[in-house]
């Protein structure tokens, strides 16, 4: 029996998603075609869009008719469209030092935010990373950065704050950071990568103060290949975002390419299922997390401990097993069909030290010994028992004596 505890990497598609995907095979027409087949595909696409809109805004349609929800292929694409699309939207005049403007992100963001931000830095933008020590956004640092940007005539054009860190589970105060940015630069686009918080926390773009916001289907029990980007009507009105991939003009011109209707149908079904059962799912995960914490405490004698942010999502636990390299522990657990990860799935092969854990303040040798356990409502206490048993034997056998 497998014990899948890597739900922040990806999730098993739920029954509703699998059914919707299979049903959508009947509607194989191109949603842009004008004939009947195209129209039935387009009708499905429209209904999927309102389902996903509801899962994000809690309303069946946007209050501001100019608001948009684009379907994309993945969270990475949504993040790139928001950031690069914003940077390309205006001709920028350099300040006296040749700086085109300022981009702010938090330290330890997912590479799909950090890497496009580095690209903008190469193009002449000042890049500021707000510290997240202990899992808390440093708002004092942010305020000083905003004052400096003002004083240096390098206006903030884009700021990105993730809702939940994918490695530590830290929940950031996106609303407070957004309000601060807007106080100094009302026209800046504030983006939230909500990929890890979607369906796990109650939020809307408005409650987070986000102008743009990303979510991804495969983190909520749908298959990979679909995701969404919310863009506020204000951003559209101010022309603060332009398409980064010109083409046939699908998704209101912001994301050309024939829509992946199968993936989108599965995404909408998982979103509907997750939204309808959100409270029950949260309660299940909260109970599992309490049990995990309790059982982990039994291993305290072997030095097993958690990297505990001030505010943490119940779904993600960052666990240190001193003296055992995370990869070694991962293999030990994997042999027992207990699946976890060392840091995030996308950096697992890079051998690079985790930026998120470094930003959190974890010492280098402990970063090397940290594993991420990520829960879902599909898990049971048996999964946790299997993990604890694996950690117990692993720390006894593998810890450097
Ligand atoms: N943002 C966060 C916080 C993530 O954890 C991930 C994936 O792990 C992504 C973005 C990228 O999403 P996707 O895998 O859909 O590209």
pLDDT, one tens digit per residue, over 267-297 is 999 999 999 999 999 999 999 999 999 999 9
Q: Determine the distance separating the centroid of ligand 1 and the alpha carbon of 202, expressed in angstroms.
A: 19
Cβ atoms of 226 and 267 within 8 Å: the answer is: yes
Mutate to test the pocket of ligand 1, among 110, 161, 226 (most ligand atoms within 8 A of CB): 110
Q: How far is the CA of 222 from the centre of ligand 1 (A)?
A: 14
Stretch 307-322: mean pLDDT, rounded? 97
In this predicted model, what pLDDT tens digit does every residue of 165-201 receive, in sequence order? 999 999 999 999 999 999 999 999 999 999 999 999 9
Residue nearest to atom 8 of ligand 1 (CA): 9
Q: How confident is the model at residue 382 (pLDDT cuts 50, 70, 90)?
A: very high
CA atoms within 13 A on the CB side of 158: 32
State the distance from the centre of ligand 1 to the C-alpha of 325, rounded, in angstroms. Answer: 25
92-106, 331-345, 387-401: which has the highest mean pLDDT?
Answer: 92-106
Q: Are 249 and 90 in contact (CB under 8 A)?
A: no
Distance 70 CA to ligand 1 centre (A): 17
The pLDDT assigned to 340 comes to 98
* Residue 215 Cβ < 6 Å to ligand 1: no
Please report the pLDDT score of residue 352 as a whole number.
77
Please give the C-alpha separations between residue 353 and each of 168, 259, 303, 325, 370, in angstroms, as whole numbers. Answer: 14, 37, 21, 12, 11
The tokens for 370 are 């940290």
Distance 213 CA to ligand 1 centre (A): 12
The rounded mean pLDDT for the chain is 96
Categorize the per-residue pLDDT at 351 as very low, low, confident or very high, splitting at 50, 70 and 90: low
Is 80 close to ligand 1, i.e. is its CB under 6 Å away? no
For ligand 1, is residue 315 a contact (CB within 6 Å)?
A: no
Give residue 349's pLDDT.
59
pLDDT-above-90 percentage for the chain: 95
Whether residue 394 is predicted with pLDDT greater than 60 in this model: the reply is yes
The pLDDT of residue 76 is: 98
Predicted confidence band of residue 353 (pLDDT cuts 50, 70, 90): confident
Ligand 1 center–CA 195 separation, angstroms: 6
> Does 74 sit in the ligand 1 pocket, CB within 6 Å?
yes
Q: Provide mean pLDDT across the span 33-59.
A: 97
CA distance 344 to 225: 19
Q: How far is the CA of 300 from the centre of ligand 1 (A)?
A: 32
- Number of C-beta neighbours around residue 243 at 10 A: 19
Q: Residue 347 has what pLDDT?
A: 53
Q: Is 160 in the pocket of ligand 1 (CB under 6 A)?
A: no
320-348 tens-digit pLDDT: 999 999 999 999 999 999 999 996 555 55
Please tell me if the CB atom of residue 227 comes closer than 6 angstroms to any atom of ligand 1. Answer: yes
Residue nearest to atom 12 of ligand 1 (CA): 75
pLDDT at site 344: 52
Ligand 1 centre distance from Cα of residue 75 (Å): 5
In angstroms, what CA-CA distances link 377 with 37, 224, 235, 314?
Answer: 37, 19, 36, 11
At 173 the pLDDT is 98
Give 32: exposed, middle or buried? Use CB within 10 Å, 0-12, 13-18, 19+: middle
Residue 86 clears pLDDT 60, i.e. is over it: yes
Q: Is the CB of 110 under 6 A from ligand 1?
A: yes
Can you list the alpha helix ranges (DSSP code H) found in 298-380? 326-335, 355-360, 364-367
């Amino acid at each position: 029996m497998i014990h899948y505890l890597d739900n922040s990497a990806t999730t098993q598609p739920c029954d509703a998603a699998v059914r919707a995907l299979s049903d959508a095979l009947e509607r194989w027409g191109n949603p842009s075609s004008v004939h009947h087949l195209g129209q039935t595909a387009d009708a499905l696409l429209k209904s999927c869009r309102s389902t996903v809109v509801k899962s994000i805004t809690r309303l069946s349609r946007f209050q501001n008719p100019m608001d948009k929800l684009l379907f994309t292929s993945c969270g990475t694409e949504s993040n790139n469209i928001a950031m690069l699309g914003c940077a390309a939207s205006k001709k920028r005049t350099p300040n006296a030092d040749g700086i085109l403007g300022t981009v702010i992100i938090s330290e330890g963001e997912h590479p799909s935010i950090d890497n496009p931000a580095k690209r903008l830095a190469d193009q002449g933008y000042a890049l500021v990373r707000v510290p997240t020590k202990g899992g808390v956004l440093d708002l004092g640092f942010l305020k000083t950065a905003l004052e400096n940007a003002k004083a240096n005539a390098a206006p903030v054009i884009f700021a990105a704050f993730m809702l939940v860190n994918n490695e530590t589970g830290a929940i950031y105060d996106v609303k407070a950071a957004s309000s601060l940015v807007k106080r100094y630069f009302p026209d800046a686009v504030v983006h939230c990568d909500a990929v890890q918080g979607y369906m796990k926390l109650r939020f809307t773009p408005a409650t987070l103060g986000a102008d743009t916001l990303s979510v991804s289907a495969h983190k909520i029990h749908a298959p990979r290949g679909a995701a969404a980007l919310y863009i506020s009507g204000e951003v559209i009105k101010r022309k603060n975002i332009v398409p980064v991939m010109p083409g046939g003009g699908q998704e209101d011109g912001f994301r050309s390419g024939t829509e992946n209707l199968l993936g989108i149908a599965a995404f909408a079904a998982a979103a509907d299922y997750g939204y309808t059962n959100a409270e029950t799912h949260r309660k299940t995960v909260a109970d599992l997390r309490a049990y995990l914490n309790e059982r982990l405490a039994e291993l305290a004698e072997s030095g097993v401990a958690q990297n505990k942010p001030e505010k943490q999502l119940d779904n993600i636990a960052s666990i240190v097993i001193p003296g055992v390299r995370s990869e070694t522990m991962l293999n030990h657990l994997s042999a027992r069909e207990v699946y976890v990860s060392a840091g995030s799935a996308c950096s697992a092969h890079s051998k690079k030290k985790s930026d998120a854990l470094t930003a959190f303040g974890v010492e280098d040798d402990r970063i090397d010994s940290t594993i991420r356990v990520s829960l879902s409502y599909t898990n049971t206490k048996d999964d946790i028992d299997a993990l604890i048993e694996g950690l117990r034997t692993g720390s006894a056998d593998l810890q450097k004596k």
